[in-house]
Amino acid sequence: MTAHCKRVLVTGGTGFVGGAVVQALTRKSGVEPVAAVRARLTDDGNPLPAHHVVLGNLDEHTPWGAALAGVDAVIHTAARVHVTNDQAADPLSKFRRVNVSGTLNLARQAAAAGVKRLVFVSSIKVNGERTLQGKRFKPDDACMPQDPYGLSKYEAEVGLRAVAAETGLEVTIVRPPLVYGPGVKANFAAMVSWLSRGVPLPLGAVVHNRRSLVALDNLVDLLLVCATHPAAANQTFLVSDDEDVSTADLLRRIGQTCKAAASASGGAGIGCRCRGQGRYGAALAQQLAAGHFQNQASAGLATACVFGRRLKAHCFCLYIVLFNKPLFLF
């Protein structure tokens, strides 16, 4: 962190990504993270971060004034996330209220409070659901969101750029693919449990697709750099780990890990890729991949079973649903 970024507000401060960002900032000398949370109690019963602000639900009415006091940068991870088999009568309106209206309300109040930069965690779904064979997504591709979640993230990006133009707030957009790491819950937890018990899954024949994933620690590293690096202002970045895997390979590696008796093993860190857009995008992407963003045996990668590390199945799952999901090539 630079000397000009001493107080960082992290929305979704107890969530999967936001919580990891708060922990990483806590380890930075001279930086005070402030976690914006919905409630005084976390879902898992863990204590709230030392510096936190309870704000309730994220929407167009959320009062950010107290949370933004003295803040230099905002890392916005809070969102209504993609839900499989969403039962809402009108899911798009619910996504828009949180991901669009809530985000733009935060951005406008941040600009008014004198915040210099807002880092927005968007989604690769803004680009679309799949790439053609041999092609890869790029930040300047025509956006083709195909579900309510992706559309809401796209509309938030458009609105944020307008706020930036109107107010001078620097906005940096990061579009991650599927994120994995310790602490992820929901759909994939069940699959890991099945594999650990030797239950066969009907996906082992899916060998020709390729999926881009990003390790939680790698994503966090990028978000921290984007909060402070001068060249990251008003840029859009796509990011993934340095290996794309087929569904069959993913299942095979997790299955092998579930059979392992050891809880962890070492190994070299896995590199990452970052593609930038804008005047400084190429130079920054190269710098992040080669320096700031190259992850060296971080805790998340050291315990990532998808890349061959060993750990107990109950400690790890992926934020991914394998059925009818896109082909991502970077």
Crossing angle of the two packed helices 148-167 and 103-112, in degrees rounded to 10: 20
Query: pLDDT-derived band of residue 330, with 50, 70 and 90 as boundaries?
Result: very low
- Least trusted range by pLDDT, from 47-61, 188-202, 248-262, 307-321: 307-321
Q: Which helix (H) or strand (E) holds 119?
A: strand 117-121
DSSP secondary structure letter of residue 61: T
Cα separation, 2 vs 191, whole angstroms: 42
Token pair belonging to 156: 């938030």
Highest mean pLDDT among 96-105, 244-253, 282-291: 96-105
pLDDT digits (tens, 9 = 90+) for 272-291: 666 666 554 555 555 555 54
Non-local CB neighbours of 1 within 8 Å, separated by 6+ positions: 8, 25, 28, 30, 31, 224, 227, 228
8 Å CB contact between 121 and 79: yes
The pLDDT score that the predictor gives to residue 300 is: 33
Query: pLDDT-derived band of residue 225, with 50, 70 and 90 as boundaries?
Result: very high
User: Which residue ranges form the domains of the chain, and what is each CATH number?
Assistant: 7-175 (3.40.50.720), 181-213+243-270+287-318 (no CATH)
Known catalytic residues?
149
Q: Which is more confident, 140 or 148?
A: 148
Non-local CB neighbours of 260 within 8 Å, separated by 6+ positions: 310, 311
Cβ atoms within 10 Å, residue 86? 15
Question: What is the arrangement of strands in the sheet containing 213-215, beginning at the earlier edge strand?
Answer: 213-215, 178-182, 316-318
8 Å CB contact between 173 and 160: yes
The partner residues of 37 in beta bridges, in order of sequence, read 54
pLDDT digits (tens, 9 = 90+) for 43-98: 555 667 778 888 888 999 999 999 999 999 999 999 998 665 666 778 899 999 99
The pLDDT score that the predictor gives to residue 4 is: 72
Token pair belonging to 273: 């890729």
